[in-house]
Amino acid sequence: MLRGKQKSSVEADGATTVEPSADFFVVGIGASAGGLEACRLLLQVLEPDRSMALIVIQHLDPTQRSLLAELLASHTGLIVCDATDGMMIEPGHCYVLPPANYLSVGQNMLHLSRPLARHGARLPVDFLLHSLAQAYGARAIGIILSGTGGDGSAGIRDIRARQGYVIAQDPTEAQYDGMPRSAIATGQVDAILPIAAMPAALAARTAIPVATLRTPLIPISCRRFR
């Protein structure tokens, strides 16, 4: 587990600290080509926030060890770590998908599984967002950043069906605009923003009292993104 460049909570040195909410939001961030820089910039402009946890899904070479967690940790005050199976989801943390895995959530835990589809046909962003919608409903947030293809476009439909919130990176800013444009084309994106404007949108969403957010009892189709 890696701590970011500054601590987001306060130790026993007399400084004040903010207790995490029991009903925090969970943000799924999807990216592929150009995603490292986009994720780095997003974490750099986000203040450490105990009202939400972040999960980063970056398309990775399944045969190579990833240094993504280490690279992101140097740009944020969040606690950054590689996801492991059964790890509890905590606010103020950023979890990173390890190579050659799919990542889903359930019962406030992370769950790793091996993809069945061949590399190049996998949809790890959709896989995560589908489970986020099921597990967190209106407390689920999806962010689609730079990348090619359409991964994430099905998953954001599930999030919106359960009254969650979706942001897409402004395609004119994205290094590769395929994923943001595909998401926008679904008509399910709440906000199209440059990365610098995303913290304000997240702050506004997470400031909404959880008790006022109603998750409709609409069954989500059991898509398979294997």
The question of whether 32 is a catalytic residue gets the answer yes
Catalytic residue of the set 8, 32, 51, 104: 32
Residue 166's closest CA among 180, 176, 177?
180
Give the separation between CA 38 and CA 178, rounded to whole angstroms. Answer: 14
Catalytic residue of the set 126, 151, 158, 177: 151
Catalytic residue of the set 59, 75, 93, 130: 59
Residue 133's closest CA among 123, 124, 142, 120?
142
Question: What is Dmax (Cα atoms) for the chain?
Answer: 53
The question of whether 151 is a catalytic residue gets the answer yes
Helix 124-136 with 153-161: angle, nearest 10 deg: 10
Give the separation between CA 103 and CA 122, rounded to whole angstroms. Answer: 12
Catalytic residues, by residue number, are 32, 59, 151
